[in-house]
Structure 1
């Protein structure tokens, strides 16, 4: 599965749960997570990778994930819809 396919599935799932989802355009700023999500007052940043490609995470993506966490948000790098669902106990 391509990253774009995973992204479409994740966006659909999150929006069906009632989350506000913003897809970040890649050209906006390097290393920014792919999806910015607000759900029940909580901030979530998701960096998506094609299944099996978590090892391709760039240092700047890890740096930005850590910045979100230090700011009190949740940020994860995922390669499956199941991982995202696990955040919501689904």
Structure 2
């Protein structure tokens, strides 16, 4: 499955949740490289996800960017499906 399809499915799921707003982070030359693909807020928690397909691997820069968001209190992860996202956010009340 293409990463763009996985990302669209995740965004659809997140935006269907009450108390959640999620966007696709369209990278460009003004933002810098390595930024997560999806930014969201869910019930007051910030989420940052890097989307990969089954064979995709994050770059060192992507992992570094995720670690900075995590250090600031965000829920982060490399996600390959809606189920991966569900596991990461299941404890948010």
TM-score by length of 1: 0.88
Q: Distance in 2 between matches of 1:65 and 1:87?
A: 14
Identify which range, 8-17 or 24-33, moves more after superposition: 24-33
Q: How does 1:24-63 map to 2 (within 5 A)?
A: 24-27=25-28, 28-53=31-56, 56-63=57-64
Mapped partners of 1:13, 1:31: distance in 2:
24
Unaligned runs of 5+ in 2: none
State the Cα RMSD in Å.
Answer: 1.2
Other-structure match for 1:64: 65
Any unmatched runs of 5+ in structure 1? none
In the aligned structure 1, how far is the partner of 2:51 from the partner of 2:76? 11
User: Which structure 1 residue ranges, 4+ long, deviate > 3 Å from structure 2?
Assistant: none
Q: Give 1:78 deviation, angstroms.
A: 1.1
Aligned equivalent of 1:21: 22
Partner of 2:79: 78
Scaled by the length of structure 2, what TM-score is found?
0.86
- Size of the alignment, in residue pairs? 87
C-alpha distance in 2 between matches for 1:40 and 1:60: 28
Distance 2:6 2:38 in 1: 12
Indicate conservation of the 8 Å contact 1:24/1:35, yes or no: yes
